[in-house]
Amino acid sequence: GALRGLNDEDLLKVVVAYEPVWAIGTGRVATPEQAQEVHAFIRATAREANDAFADSLRILYGGSVKGDNAAGGYLATRHLIEQGHRRIAILEGPRKYKTLTERIEGYVRALDEAQLALDPLLMVKPIAGSPRKGYVETQELLSRPRAQWPTAIFAVSDKSALGALDALKDAIDAL
């Protein structure tokens, strides 16, 4: 997965911070039982890779970060543009969450400012309810002819970003 290649010292520094998708921007919080269930799942998944890593893994449940999401989307996309990327895909997520739509607005503003067109080939119809949505959406991008591949991917959520990383790693391994 996404942590392959980290040495034991670096693995001990890993922190998994998460928030359920249904809680993003809603003010709703998980019950202690729900949080414990997710913690157990994350730790069990980590244990598949390495027992010592799973035992030392710090897992944090937290509420939404109350930042300026539009500015975050803008700055992240502008950074990619400054690095020379011109084909920046977006993994959007559900538009029912204000935090995610604000990040999309920032992405669009950065593209517009750089006079880059919003390319429908760099957008994937969001998949709702799939725990592997970022993975599946990135696979969709990579199933297209190479000339249509993005040089960077902007994911509006951590969950989508982690899925994208796993899909990219699997694609590289398959080459």
Query: What are 132-142's pLDDT values in tens digits?
Result: 899 999 999 99
Percentage, residues of the chain above pLDDT 90: 37
**Does 17 score more than 90 pLDDT?**
no
- The residue among 21 and 92 whose pLDDT is bigger is 92
Q: Which two tokens stand for residue 4?
A: 């392959």
Q: What phi, psi does 12 have (nearest 5°)?
A: -70, -15
The crossing angle, in degrees rounded to 10, of helices 98-113 and 69-82 is 40
Mean pLDDT of 11-25: 73
- The C-alpha atoms of residue 151 and residue 171 are separated, in whole angstroms, by 14
Sort strands 152-155 and 15-18 into parallel, antiparallel or unpaired.
Answer: unpaired
Q: What phi, psi does 56 have (nearest 5°)?
A: -95, -10
Task: Calculate ∠ Cα 143-149-154, nearest 5°.
Answer: 105
Q: Which two tokens stand for residue 94?
A: 């559900």
Cβ count near 162 (within 10 Å): 18
- The C-alpha atoms of residue 140 and residue 167 are separated, in whole angstroms, by 10
pLDDT band at residue 65 using 50, 70 and 90 as cut-offs: very low
pLDDT band at residue 25 using 50, 70 and 90 as cut-offs: low
